[in-house]
Amino acid sequence: MRIFNYRNFSLKIWSLDDARVVRSIDHTEGKITCMAFRADSQYLITGGEDFSCKLWELSSGKLTQVRKKIIQN
């Protein structure tokens, strides 16, 4: 499995077996700055310019959790 981050804030998840897109995930709140698979490859976590961490279920593309950082002056 390989993931690409496109300029339109979407992630494309590609199968390395047959070189096809198996899932597209829309990440609409700013650019993604980092991402990592969970050890079992069932979930993906992304971090972005909006100071949030998002947990995605790869089999469905569903956003399952959001953690936002509160910035105080």
Domains along the chain with CATH numbers: 2-68 (2.40.10.480)
6-37: pLDDT as tens digits:
565 678 888 888 888 888 887 667 778 888 98
User: What pTM was estimated for this model as a whole?
Assistant: 0.74
Length of the chain: 73
Q: How far apart are CA 17 and CA 39, in angstroms?
A: 20
Contact 11, 25 (CB under 8 A): yes
| Average pLDDT taken over every residue of the chain | 80
